[in-house]
Amino acid sequence: MTQNTRSQRTQQPPQPDVIDLGKLLGLLLDGKWIIIFTTFVFAVVGVAYALLATPIYKADALIQVEQKNSGMPVLSEGLSDMFAQESNAATEIEIIKSRMVLGKTVDKFNLTTVASPDYLPIIGKGLATRLGTEAHIKVERFEIPDYAETGGYTLTLDNSETGAYTLYDQNGKLILKGTVGHLASSSRSTQNLETENLEPSPSQNLEPSNPATYFLFVSQLVGQQGQEFNLSKRSKLTAINWLATNLSVSERGKQSGILSFGFEGPNSQQNIDLLNDIATNYFLQNVDRNAAEAENSLEFLQEKLPEIKSQLTINEDALNQYRQDNESVDLGLEAQSTLKVMVELEAQLNELTFKESELAQRFTKEHPAYIAVLEKRKTLEAQKRKLEGQIRKLPKTQRAVLRLTRDVQVNQEIYVQLLNKSQELAIVKASTVGNVRILDKADSNGLAVKPKKPLIAVLATLLGGMLSVAFVLLRAAFHRGVESPDQIEEIGLSVYATIPKSEQQDKINKQLQKLKKTKKTRPVQAALLTEVNPADLAVEALRSLRTSLHFAMMEAKNNVIMITGPSPGIGKSFVSTNFASVIASSGQRVLVIDADMRKGHIGAGQQFAHSHGLSEVLVNSKSVEEVIHKSLLENLDFIAKGKTPPNPSELLMHARFTELVKWASENYDIVLIDTPPVLAVTDAAIVGRHSGTTLMVSRFGVTSTKELEVASDRLEQAGVETKGVILNAVEKTASSYYTYGYYNYAYKSE
């Protein structure tokens, strides 16, 4: 393609890229059946899923977490502080979902064993519920060898009346047989046990004598005979994670201390049982934790009491011995006053030691409370050093008695204090009730929380509508077929005619296809739309084309018209034959030549002798008079393609074709030559050199403007000018109604 070739056509400027709401609405109207059908299918699927999906139920419970206290108002302030730490809701929620709490529930309900009926995925259980064929199974114990696979086991109900069942592995191998309510085993010992009607409890810890033994205890099995159930084992950690995933815990309100428990699952009663057990386990661990705090402190005091008592005894003996040795020395008033103050200081220092130990576990040394304790200790120690200075001024004998008496009284104060705290802690331990209270036990209203049927139906319908609309718009966006004459004129080509799509022609084509398969023929009059329905809108468009060409051919070099197109399957043969019939009906003599010697099919299904035609003339095996089919219609003659030659292009370049066109032009008023597609082969460029007028056919919604542009440029490079374009098979769509229209102005008999 050259720039000169492109410049020969006056191209119109492209339309600006704007959103045409009318066009979009028209596209949606054109694709209304796709949208309606897709939306309907999605709606049906959504409703079916909502009705048949496995229902999910929810159980809920309510727990209050109170602020911790000692439980006894008479306790000292120090002990009350020890048990006054409050856990926030986030901490309590993590405790509830811990392995310590959930692990007990897993062990109690044997959640490491997974047993369920073998249903269809997603909708199986819901379908079985509606059909009344729902099955149930409850496995109390299922033990497998260490080497065995954990999943893929199938249990088949052999007899619904006796409860007999059979267990197979994933390879279909028989593992064991048993009955409901009896412990089944793959070992002979357990089988003998069953034969003797002994029913071991599933809770008994029966260790298998053989490590390769399977144990199975089914307590409930409901279903039809032949019903299959899936069994598998999972680790305890996996079971705990499953439990935590389905468990929801949240605080109602901010800093309310009210925790709302929820558990979702397909079995409503199981949800209630699991949630009650989790709440109970959390409550018990909280009570145990509070009692453990008091017990630890009590054990510490009970260890210290004997040491303090022993030290007190030693100090008392030393004081008595000194008095005996020094003949019962008594203290003066000043010494007694100093002793009293000294004992009080020692008691306060001892109390600060306990308090500092508690603060060290909770705060750093930079905390204000910790700093206050240290400052108070410094003050007391300064007073103690001052008293010790006064004591050193006393006589030696009184100093000794004062020191011994101080040791006795200080140890006595410490002993009494520890003894009192020990008794208080014993009361705390005995009266511990925990700071957790179960307000509402687990319960369920019996209504499924999932799936939300109305919401799913609405969402499925909306999804179907959106996807179908998106499909219609995307298809239109990627569709490059010509739908308007304006699109053709934008590339500089004139549109000579727009031929509406004819339903009658579709019927004719179907009949011709049937005749082709049965190798039958029919008259030409029954194969041409102009003869079957002369009032058809497509025929009226061809008459308009005849009028337009009458004036356009005045400046043509001859009366030869070439009908071509960029690609196959666009209706060139339909235009050629029916246009020739329209011209012949006006009284002009017309010759139609099928120059597509590769796949030409003009006249297929009629009583034509296709064994000779254009190819025979070009190879000089037949004369022109011998290949012309005359008397088909009045003023209309036809030359078929003949036998398919190996070199059609070379034959068209032969001088005999030039002579044939010259002879036809002299003997007929109009010569129509139907050619192969321009973009497929070069035949059209060769034929075009002999024609005075070249018309290119394009099909509505199929041929793109790019194809027309390239085909026209290729002809122009060969020296053939495209006179105009015929837009064929135009459909009246909502998206293009505003561009052009056709009106049914048919004949009507009076």
Q: What is the Cα–Cα distance from 742 to 618, expressed in whole angstroms?
A: 43
What pLDDT, on the 0 to 100 scale, is given for residue 74? 38
Q: pTM of the entire structure?
A: 0.58
Question: Which phi and psi (to 5°) does residue 450 adopt?
Answer: -140, 145
Confidence at residue 340, expressed as pLDDT on a 0 to 100 scale: 67
Q: 390-396 long-range contacts, Cβ below 8 Å, gap at least 24?
A: 390/338, 391/338, 391/342, 394/334, 394/335
Judged against a pLDDT cut of 50, whether residue 440 lies above it is answered with yes
Quick check: 240 pLDDT over 90?
yes
Band (pLDDT 50/70/90 cuts) for residue 151 is confident
Judge contact between 69 and 278, C-beta under 8 A: no
pLDDT score, position 741: 44
The average pLDDT across 391-398 equals 60
Helix (H) or strand (E) holding 107: helix 99-108
User: Over the stretch 455-507, which tens digit does the pLDDT of each residue have?
Assistant: 999 999 999 999 999 988 888 777 778 888 888 888 888 888 888 888 888 78
Structure-model confidence comparison of residues 353 and 448, the more confident one: 448
Measured CA to CA, the distance from residue 672 to residue 593 in angstroms comes to 6
Distance of alpha carbon 667 from alpha carbon 662, whole angstroms: 9
From 664, 658, 713, 687, select the one nearest 596 (Cα to Cα): 687
**Cβ proximity of 229 and 163 under 8 Å:** no
Please compute the mean of the pLDDT values over residues 426-454 and round it to a whole number. Answer: 77
Residue 656: strand, helix, or coil? helix
pLDDT grade for 75, boundaries at 50, 70 and 90: very low
Contact 615, 693 (CB under 8 A): no
For 249-274, the pLDDT digits (tens) are 998 877 788 899 999 988 889 899 99
Closest to 49 in 3D by CA, of 118, 127, 117: 127
DSSP letter string, 487-555 = HHHTTT--EEEEEEP-HHHHHHHHHHHHHHHHT--B-GGGT-HHHH-TT-HHHHHHHHHHHHHHHHGGG
pLDDT higher than 80, residue 428: no
What would the two tokens of residue 355 be? 């308090």
Mean pLDDT of 59-73: 70
Strand partners, 697: 726
Q: Is the pLDDT of residue 3 over 50?
A: no
**SS3 sequence of 281-292:** HHHHHHHHHHHH
Mean per-residue pLDDT for 690-708? 89
Give the type of residue at 217: F
Distance of CA 409 to the CA centre of its chain: 79
> Given a cut of 90, is residue 36 above it in pLDDT?
yes
Any residues with CB less than 8 A from the CB of 344 and at least 6 apart, and which?
none
pLDDT tens digits, 615-639 = 888 888 888 888 888 866 788 888 8
Q: pLDDT tens digit string along 453-466?
A: 899 999 999 999 99
pLDDT at 319 over 80: no
- pLDDT at res. 243: 93
CB atoms within 10 A of CB 307: 11
Statement: residue 166 has pLDDT above 90: yes
pLDDT at 188 over 60: no
Q: Which of 272-286, 324-338, 378-392, 632-646 has the lowest mean pLDDT?
A: 324-338
The yes-or-no verdict on residue 278 having pLDDT over 90 is yes
Q: How confident is the model at residue 312 (pLDDT cuts 50, 70, 90)?
A: low
User: Which is nearest to 655 in space by CA: 693, 625, 622, 686?
Assistant: 686
Q: Which residues are CB-contacts of 637 (< 8 A; sequence separation ≥ 6)?
A: 589, 590, 591, 592, 628, 629, 630, 668
pLDDT value at residue 274: 93
pLDDT classification of 399: cutoffs 50, 70, 90: low
From the DSSP assignment, how many helices (H) and strands (E) are in the chain?
Answer: 25, 20
Percent of the chain with pLDDT over 90: 21
Provide the β-strand partners of residue 450: 56
Q: Which of 657, 631, 628 is nearest to 645 (CA)?
A: 657
Q: pLDDT tens for residues 653-676? A: 989 999 999 999 999 999 999 999
Average pLDDT, the chain: 78
Please give the pLDDT value at position 349.
Answer: 74
